[in-house]
């Protein structure tokens, strides 16, 4: 049985279904790949701007220049923000309610080397799914948020509190610049939701994250195949992998009482890539002169990330000191981004969690699942840096950061229904 506001949300969204699907396909078909230091998000932001224009809604596209004049500690100075723009739609409330921010990122990772069945930008619709790069992470969620704004505008509903929608740049690769710029520009709220693909679960926590390349060079390439003893980093790399494995093991048994208490691997340590020559016809039969491994550390919301990383580095120093090869061929520590991302956690009893849970329950007519995200995201920037209670909630799908990524279209509409119901309840009509 749908309650008043949920029924209203369903009715308000119905007329916009077709346009929602069209917007989603167009966004997926528009390349918005982010490869640091650059990102090409603007064409996709223009697709959104045109959508809002057709709905007679004013959307602001603004530059990230504010990052250049702020000294906030989370700004990544190694990124190029020139020509990249956030998009925001702001509905002022009557002043008698709480405000809400709907946040989503429009950038995607590159398509990778895996084999896609169709072009990564096909936007193909098959069996109720839209396929393509960024469909699930997170253009489906961005569309759900955008049509909440469109539905409210169409119905002529004025909320009590302010409602802000923002489509930000540079979230992938631990960027955060887009979300930071939104806050530094002054868009604040009493609560926020990021509609990352969550399989229609409410995620009230996210992990911290840090990626580092461990590199080692071994000797003189000119000496290879011409001197007696050939020094190679390949087998020592195996020992380095074992050292990483010891951290994986150690972090698997971390005790926590928070949102990750029942998660099997609460703070994963993963190897993302290993390099030492390539199995490639263009690479001669040669012993590698260089080896590298890319390691991904994740952290619990309550952890002191700096302290954990300090003990990781101490442990690496000890490992190196005890290994004759690495004593003479030191390991280089090359972070992919620095400072690391932090986690965040919002209490289950928080009024915003409770509001979203009851709206999800009403819309789906089943008990809501409240859980914790298996990844880091922009949430800590909103909550830890700017005090905005933040949840993740978004559509179903699969294949984020992998070939044949897709988002389930009906779940995009359910996401919009839940978000619209929550906006009506939280902000007050
Ligand atoms: Zn994402």
In this prediction, residues 159-187 reach a mean pLDDT of 96
* Ligand 1 midpoint to CA 179 (Å): 12
Summarize pLDDT for 52-88 with one digit per residue, the tens: 999 999 999 999 999 999 999 999 999 999 999 999 9
Ligand 1 center to 61 CA (angstroms): 20
How far does the centroid of ligand 1 lie from the alpha carbon of residue 232, in Å? Answer: 39
Structural tokens at position 192: 């926020």
Q: How far is CA 306 from CA 301, 303, 372, in A?
A: 13, 9, 22
State in Å: Cα 21 to ligand 1 middle.
Answer: 20
103 CA distance to ligand 1 middle (Å): 11
Q: What's the whole-number average pLDDT of the chain? A: 95
Q: Region 34-46: what's the mean pLDDT? A: 97
Q: What is the pLDDT of residue 223?
A: 67
Q: What is the mean pLDDT of residues 103-127?
A: 96
Mean pLDDT, range 294-321, rounded to an integer: 98
CA of 367 to the centre of ligand 1 (A): 26
Identify the pLDDT of residue 268.
97
**Strands 406-408, 205-206: parallel, antiparallel or unpaired by DSSP?**
unpaired
Average pLDDT on 255-279 reads: 94
* SS3 of 199-263: CCCEECEECEEEEEEEEEECCCHHHCCCCCCCCCCHHHHHHHHHHHHHHHHHHHCCCCCCCCCCC
Question: What are the residues whose beta carbons fall under 8 Å from the beta carbon of 367, sequence distance 6 or more?
Answer: 361
CA of 68 to the centre of ligand 1 (A): 24
Distance from the CA of 141 to the center of ligand 1, in angstroms?
Answer: 9
pLDDT at 225: 64
pLDDT over threshold 50, residue 317: yes
Distance 183 CA to ligand 1 centre (A): 19
Helix, strand, or coil (residue 63): strand
**How far is ligand 1, taken at its centre, from the CA of residue 326, in Å?**
37
Dist. CA 408 → ligand 1 center (Å): 16
CA of residue 378 to ligand 1 center, whole Å: 9
Distance 107 CA to ligand 1 centre (A): 8
Residue 379: is the preceding peptide bond cis (ω within 30°)? no
Which residues have CB under 8 Å from 86's CB, separation 6+? 45, 61, 62, 64, 166, 167, 168, 169, 178, 181, 182
Please say if the pLDDT value at position 273 is more than 80: yes
- Residue 194 Cα, ligand 1 centroid: separation in angstroms? 9
pLDDT, mean of residues 37-52: 98
- For residue 298, report the distance from its CA to the centre of ligand 1, in Å: 16
* CA 173 to centroid of ligand 1, rounded, Å: 10
pLDDT at residue number 3: 65
pLDDT, position 330: 96
208-335 has CATH 3.90.1150.10 classification? no
Q: Please determine, for residue 284, whether its predicted confidence score (pLDDT) is greater than 50.
A: yes
Ligand 1 centroid–CA 190 distance in Å is 22
pLDDT value at 2 more than 90: no
CA of 208 to the centre of ligand 1 (A): 14
Give residue 10 CA to ligand 1 midpoint distance, Å.
Answer: 26
- The residue-averaged pLDDT of 298-325 equals 97
90 confidence band (pLDDT: 50, 70, 90): very high
Contact between residue 202 and residue 139 where contact means Cβ atoms under 8 Å apart: no
| pLDDT of 47 over the 80 cut | yes
Per-residue pLDDT at 327: 96
pLDDT of residue 1: 46
Residue 90 three-state SS: strand
**Cα dist from 237 to 108, 243, 333, whole Å:** 32, 10, 14
Q: How many C-beta atoms surround the C-beta of residue 35 within 10 A? A: 12
Q: Ligand 1 center to residue 105 CA distance, Å?
A: 7
In angstroms, the CA 221 to CA 100 distance is 59
**CATH superfamily of the domain spanning 4-206+343-427:** Zn peptidases (3.40.630.10)
pLDDT at 245 over 80: yes
Measure 349 CA to ligand 1 centroid, in angstroms: 26
Position 204 scores a pLDDT of 98
Pick left, alpha or beta for residue 428 (phi over 0 → left; psi -120 to 50 → alpha; otherwise beta): left
Tell whether the model's pLDDT for residue 351 goes beyond 90.
Answer: yes
CA of 399 to the centre of ligand 1 (A): 12
Give, rounded to a whole angstrom, the gap between the first and last alpha carbons of the chain.
Answer: 21
Ordered strands of the 85-91 beta sheet:
60-63, 85-91, 163-168, 100-105, 192-194, 390-392, 202-203, 370-371
- What's the mean pLDDT in 86-100? 96
Residue 261 vs residues 53, 205, 209, 254, 341: alpha-carbon distances, Å: 46, 11, 18, 9, 20
Residue boundaries of the structural domains of the chain? 4-206+343-427, 208-335
3 state SS of 394: coil
CA of 264 to the centre of ligand 1 (A): 22
Task: Over range 365-391, report the average pLDDT.
Answer: 97
Confidence at residue 6, expressed as pLDDT on a 0 to 100 scale: 76
Q: Give the whole-angstrom CA distance, residue 298 versus residue 314.
A: 18
Burial class (CB in 10 A: 0-12, 13-18, 19+), 402: middle
| 80 CA from centroid of ligand 1 (Å) | 20
What distance in Å separates the CA atoms of residue 70 and residue 115, rounded to the nearest whole number?
42
pLDDT, position 348: 97
357 or 227, higher pLDDT: 357
Helix%, strand%, coil% for the chain, nearest 5: 35, 20, 45
Q: How far is the CA of 207 from the centre of ligand 1 (A)?
A: 13
């Amino acid at each position: 049985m749908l309650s008043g506001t949920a029924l209203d949300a369903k009715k308000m969204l119905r007329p916009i279904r077709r346009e929602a699907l069209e917007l989603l396909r167009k966004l997926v078909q528009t390349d918005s790949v982010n490869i640091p230091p650059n990102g090409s998000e603007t064409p996709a932001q223009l697709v959104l701007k045109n959508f809002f224009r057709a709905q007679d809604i004013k959307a602001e596209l603004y530059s990230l220049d504010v990052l250049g004049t702020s000294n906030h500690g989370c700004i990544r100075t190694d990124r190029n923000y020139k020509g990249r723009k956030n998009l925001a739609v702001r509905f002022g409330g009557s002043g008698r309610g709480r405000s809400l921010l709907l946040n989503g990122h429009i950038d995607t990772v590159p398509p990778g080397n895996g084999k896609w069945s169709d072009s990564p930008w096909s936007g193909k619709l098959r069996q109720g799914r839209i396929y393509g790069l960024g469909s699930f992470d997170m253009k489906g969620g961005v569309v759900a948020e955008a049509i909440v704004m469109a539905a409210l505008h169409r119905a002529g509903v004025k909320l009590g509190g302010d409602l802000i929608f923002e489509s930000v740049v540079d979230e992938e690769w631990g960027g955060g610049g887009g979300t930071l710029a939104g806050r530094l520009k002054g868009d604040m709220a009493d609560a926020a939701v990021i509609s990352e693909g969550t399989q229609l679960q409410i995620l009230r926590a996210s992990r911290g994250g840090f990626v580092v390349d461990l590199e080692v060079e071994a000797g003189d390439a000119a000496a290879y195949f011409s001197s007696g003893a050939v020094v190679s980093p390949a087998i020592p790399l195996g020992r380095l992998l074992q050292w990483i494995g010891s951290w994986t093991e150690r972090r698997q048994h971390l005790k926590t009482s928070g949102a990750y208490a029942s998660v099997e691997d609460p703070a994963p340590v993963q190897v993302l890539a290993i390099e030492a020559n390539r199995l490639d016809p263009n690479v001669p039969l040669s012993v590698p002169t260089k080896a590298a491994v890319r390691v991904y550390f994740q952290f619990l919301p309550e952890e002191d990330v700096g302290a954990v990383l300090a003990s990781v580095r101490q442990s690496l120093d000890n490992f190196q000191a005890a290994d004759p090869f690495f004593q003479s061929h030191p390991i280089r520590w090359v972070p992919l981004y620095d400072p690391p991302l932090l986690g965040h956690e919002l209490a289950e009893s928080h009024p915003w969690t409770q509001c979203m849970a009851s709206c999800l329950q009403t819309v789906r007519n089943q008990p809501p699942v409240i859980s914790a995200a298996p990844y880091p995201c922009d949430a800590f920037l909103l909550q830890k840096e700017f005090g905005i209670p933040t949840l993740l909630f978004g559509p179903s799908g699969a294949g984020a950061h992998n070939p044949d990524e897709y988002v389930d279209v009906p779940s995009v509409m359910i996401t919009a229904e839940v978000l619209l119901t929550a906006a009506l309840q939280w902000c007050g009509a």
